[in-house]
Structure 1
Amino acid sequence: MRIPHPVASRFAAAFLMGASLSIPAYAEEINVAIVGEPDTFDPMMSTKDVVSIVTQHLVETLFTFDDTWAVAPLLAKDLPEISDGGKTYKIALREGITFHDGSAMDSADVVASLKRWLEVATRGKGVADKIDDVVATGPYEIEIRMNEAYSPLLSLLAFSNSAAAIYPEEILGETIDQVVGTGPYRLIEHVPDQYIQLGRFDGYVSREEASDGAAGARQQIADEIRFLPVPDPNTRVEGLLSGQYDFADSLPAESYARLETAEGAEPMLLKPFGWPIFAINHKAGLLTDLEIRKALQAALPIDDMLFAAFGDDNFFVVDGPLYPEGWAWRNDAGIENYNQNDQAKAADLLKQAGYDGTPLRILTSRQYEFHFKMAEVAKVALEAAGFKVQMDVVDWATLGQRRNDPALWDIYITHSPFLPEPALTSMYAPTSRLGWANEEKDAILTAFTTETDTAKRQELFSQLQGQVFEDVGFIKIGGFNALMGHKSGLTGVTPSPWPFFWNAKTN
């Protein structure tokens, strides 16, 4: 049993010895069905949504996002003072903040946590070469000293996956066995593949501002939150309809009509939500060859893939630009290479590349059923183009482990919400698990992340999008809306790609 908190460990020990242990009686319990088992409670080590959804209740960052996706302070007292041409960030910390182990948070904890983030987290490693030092300038003040301006820094520090989470200095190491945070809930018990039980942290000190997205007050209304790994999407639907779950994440599009007319349950639609992605291995294997990547890009029947995945065009859009209509980052660079659905062209490209029949390994999971359905349709088209395709279908936790080893896959299928800052998408960086690097793209990315003028950044992002299509850095498979569902009478849950429940209650 993996239980990363001292309280949980004591509970487990007492249970195994047949002893009794006083556990609080919970007045209100929120049961949340999620797509699978988080493979870690240390969000620095993961970019997976299922990890973020759970761990944002346990650990906190210096900053977060409000309802408009603007950066707002969380453990920081205010937004930072930025000086020296954008290279020095002075951050005042809130005082009186307590970790779950009873210790008080100060600047030493924050400095040590941020230094670990720079060393071990995907997003932290992506910015580490731009940061000269993180230092304490007082008991409740730190400075981040950079060697060049980096415009996405605050968004990175606010993000809940690959998160710059703040921990007690004493527990830090390459790995953390028992995660101790400052969040509104603490881990009570974890039974793998059954449930994750969180209880209200009585030492929590909320911000005083009104709740606004993830910013402002975190009210701790429910005494207990239980996250229940439910890999099968139809089981999540049936459990919601039967009243077993108060909230269910990532539901199939075809269940919308049932939820809309059901007694006791309601749909929650995020529109637009995000984009499915074929993540490409540039470090090893078949797709290190540009001509073979172009053959892959040419062969994919995007329309058919999206229809198979979602079944109803209310839930998807065949759309090439990396941002949807209405977003400042939207542009048309490179989109002539989108949705070619040309298996004959792909076959010619394979011939030019001297393709020898090595299997194209597609790593996917049925816990996000739309991933699997897209892969099935892609497989047929790719085989028609001359690829030999190997489908590796695993549970989501296993996929999260395997994608870290470039020897085990050529494509893995994932998805992302549309993020307020493009640099939050780690796939652009050569340090990401994709390993996508070329001289022109890397120069554009550096210019984009050091520029502070909005109009200039938009032009640079257009060039970066062009590189995504021309070098086939990764492949966007359209856009989609996400369906969640909740029990009738559940309030206080803000529609979000990473729903949180500290303000939730059932009527």
Structure 2
Amino acid sequence: MPPCFATPAPPRCARWPGFPPAAPAPKPCCAPCRLPTWEDYRPGDRVVYRRNPAYAPRKEPASGLAGGKVVHVDRVEWVFLRDPQTQVNALLNGEVDIVETVPASHYPQLRTDNRVQMVDIMPAGPFTVIYNHKVPPFNDARVRKAAMLVINQEAMLRAQATYRDFYKPCTSVYLCGSPYASEQTGFFTGKPQFEQARKLLKEAGYDGKPVVIMLPGDAPALSRLPVVYGQLLRQAGFNVDVQATDWSTLITRRTKKDLPENGGWNAFITFWGGVDASSPVTYSPLTGNGERGYFGWAEDAELEALKTRFIETADAAQRKDLATRIQLRAIESGVLAPVGEGKAPTVVRRGAVSGLLPAPAVLYWNVRKE
């Protein structure tokens, strides 16, 4: 659901240490835009969101996800164009006004075309490898560690984002520069250690069974990372099968706990919003509660105990220490592997729209059609 339908934080958040006292339950309210009707929702084609005339915004300036959410246009049409070149052509031809993200291969063309403007409104976020702890070979912690040891953040990020303006190596599981980010990452350096990886594979008795990595071909912000990661794994002795799919299929397939040959999977790489990735409470992949947790279903009682202590304490110094211990534990047990940070510019038709706000996602309040 787009951020046109922002809602207040869950009431339980207000009861956590460090949050203000819970406010009285809000009266029923509506959102800046109306949910689409069946006529406005055509899967695979477009979704039309219409301004809600009953909505009363706050009498204050818009500020990201906060402030007065004033919708200045009658409707916003989300048009599904799966091919990045088709998206760019539609923008250059005036058929659409905004492309939320574009792959790095189009940056040289768009940077020099005076018909469009590249705007930097969304903050960086982490790319993360998720391993399936349920099935071989990543049900063995030694094999997960070997897979983490081959990661070359610079090579993977450069292949994905091309320009250093749009990526940054970062070994912390949290967003670098955020309050809980730490350089204490144990064995993980973000630089390849192939010899150590080979030793671990031999120790674990890895039998050469293919490791299936899912690649979302229609997600240009992610699609190059699995290819490079697969090659790095091969250099350490893994047999790798990078399977191209689309993002919709990937998010369905990642729910399966079957063996890869029966429709399951071994690993995939995802991107997370920087705000959510700044805390162990809000970073969903940072879980060790098995089938009740994030895909991959890591089980780590120590990690969960540390997270509980983090939630229960209000002391800032203790929270910082616990966040670092959570990071070290997550890396040691192979819950996830940090690939580094990236961001993609939003591209708009020059002179066509104004008012885009810096935020974790592209927002459509405050935007005017010129």
TM-score range, shorter chain: 0.7 to 0.9
Cα distance in 1 between the residues matched to 2:252 and 2:325: 32
**What is the root-mean-square deviation in Å for CA atoms of aligned residues?**
2.6
Higher relative contact order (CA 8 A, sep 6+): 2
Task: Kindly state the Cα deviation for residue 335 of structure 1 after the two structures are TM-superposed.
Answer: 5.0
Q: For 2:36, what is the secondary structure of its paired residue?
A: strand
Instruction: Report the CA distance shift for 1:82/1:320 in structure 2 as closer, same or farther (over 3 A).
Output: closer
Cα distance in 2 between the residues matched to 1:88 and 1:275: 29
Name the residue aligned to 2:355. Answer: 492
1:423 aligns with 2:286: no
Task: Kindly state the Cα deviation for residue 412 of structure 1 after the two structures are TM-superposed.
Answer: 1.5
Name the residue aligned to 1:412. Answer: 268
Q: Deviations over 1:158-212 (max 9, x none)?
A: xxxxxxxxxxxxxxxxxxxxxxxx4423314111111111212222232333212
Task: Kindly state the Cα deviation for residue 268 of structure 1 after the two structures are TM-superposed.
Answer: 1.4
Task: Kindly state the Cα deviation for residue 414 of structure 1 after the two structures are TM-superposed.
Answer: 0.6
| Paired residue type of 1:385 | A
Task: Kindly state the Cα deviation for residue 344 of structure 1 after the two structures are TM-superposed.
Answer: 2.7
Instruction: Report the CA distance shift for 1:343/1:504 in structure 2 as closer, same or farther (over 3 A).
Output: same
1:236 aligns with 2:87: yes
Name the residue aligned to 1:372. Answer: 223
Q: Deviations over 1:29-55 (max 9, x none)?
A: xxxxxxxxxxxxxxxxxxxxxxx4x3x
1:434 aligns with 2:290: no
Equivalent residues of 2:216, 2:246 under 8 A apart: yes
Cα distance in 2 between the residues matched to 1:476 and 1:377: 15
Instruction: Report the CA distance shift for 1:86/1:495 in structure 2 as closer, same or farther (over 3 A).
Output: closer
Cα distance in 1 between the residues matched to 2:26 and 2:221: 42
Alignment of 1:354-365 (within 5 A): 354-365=205-216
Instruction: Report the CA distance shift for 1:387/1:96 in structure 2 as closer, same or farther (over 3 A).
Output: closer
1:249 aligns with 2:112: no
Equivalent of residue 312 in structure 1, options 139, 153, 163: 163
Cα distance in 2 between the residues matched to 1:498 and 1:370: 14
Task: Kindly state the Cα deviation for residue 400 of structure 1 after the two structures are TM-superposed.
Answer: 1.1
1:295 aligns with 2:146: yes
Equivalent residues of 2:152, 2:190 under 8 A apart: yes
Name the residue aligned to 1:501. Answer: 364
Instruction: Report the CA distance shift for 1:320/1:223 in structure 2 as closer, same or farther (over 3 A).
Output: same
- Output the TM-score relative to the length of structure 2: 0.88
Alignment of 1:470-489 (within 5 A): 470-489=332-351
Equivalent residues of 1:359, 1:387 under 8 A apart: yes
Name the residue aligned to 2:318. Answer: 456
Equivalent residues of 1:281, 1:410 under 8 A apart: yes
Unaligned runs of 5+ in 2: 259-263
Equivalent of residue 34 in structure 2, options 180, 185, 188: 185
Task: Kindly state the Cα deviation for residue 318 of structure 1 after the two structures are TM-superposed.
Answer: 2.0
Unaligned runs of 5+ in 1: 1-51, 65-75, 99-181
| Paired residue type of 1:277 | T
- Output the TM-score relative to the length of structure 1: 0.65
Task: Kindly state the Cα deviation for residue 480 of structure 1 after the two structures are TM-superposed.
Answer: 1.5
Alignment of 1:12-411 (within 5 A): 52=1, 54=2, 56-57=3-4, 59-63=5-9, 90-95=22-27, 97-98=29-30, 182-188=31-37, 189-270=40-121, 272-334=123-185, 336-407=187-258, 408-411=264-267
| Paired residue type of 2:345 | L
Instruction: Report the CA distance shift for 1:336/1:260 in structure 2 as closer, same or farther (over 3 A).
Output: same
Task: Kindly state the Cα deviation for residue 498 of structure 1 after the two structures are TM-superposed.
Answer: 1.4
Q: For 1:63, what is the secondary structure of its paired residue?
A: coil
Cα distance in 2 between the residues matched to 1:423 and 1:283: 24
Cα distance in 2 between the residues matched to 1:216 and 1:252: 31
Equivalent residues of 1:234, 1:251 under 8 A apart: no
Q: For 2:325, what is the secondary structure of its paired residue?
A: helix
Task: Kindly state the Cα deviation for residue 63 of structure 1 after the two structures are TM-superposed.
Answer: 3.5
Instruction: Report the CA distance shift for 1:228/1:81 in structure 2 as closer, same or farther (over 3 A).
Output: closer
| Paired residue type of 1:416 | W
| Paired residue type of 2:299 | A
Task: Kindly state the Cα deviation for residue 401 of structure 1 after the two structures are TM-superposed.
Answer: 0.9
Equivalent residues of 2:132, 2:267 under 8 A apart: yes
Q: Deviations over 1:233-273 (max 9, x none)?
A: 23222222222221112212243343333223110125751
Cα distance in 2 between the residues matched to 1:254 and 1:305: 15
Name the residue aligned to 1:169. Answer: none
Equivalent residues of 1:299, 1:382 under 8 A apart: yes
Instruction: Report the CA distance shift for 1:214/1:376 in structure 2 as closer, same or farther (over 3 A).
Output: same
User: How many residues in Structure 1 have an aligned counterpart in Structure 2?
Assistant: 356
Cα distance in 1 between the residues matched to 2:43 and 2:245: 17
Cα distance in 1 between the residues matched to 2:155 and 2:27: 55
Task: Kindly state the Cα deviation for residue 505 of structure 1 after the two structures are TM-superposed.
Answer: 1.0
Cα distance in 2 between the residues matched to 1:460 and 1:477: 22
Instruction: Report the CA distance shift for 1:482/1:81 in structure 2 as closer, same or farther (over 3 A).
Output: closer
Cα distance in 2 between the residues matched to 1:81 and 1:465: 25
Equivalent residues of 1:297, 1:338 under 8 A apart: no
Equivalent residues of 1:360, 1:390 under 8 A apart: yes
Equivalent residues of 1:299, 1:342 under 8 A apart: yes
Cα distance in 1 between the residues matched to 2:201 and 2:54: 61
Task: Kindly state the Cα deviation for residue 274 of structure 1 after the two structures are TM-superposed.
Answer: 0.9
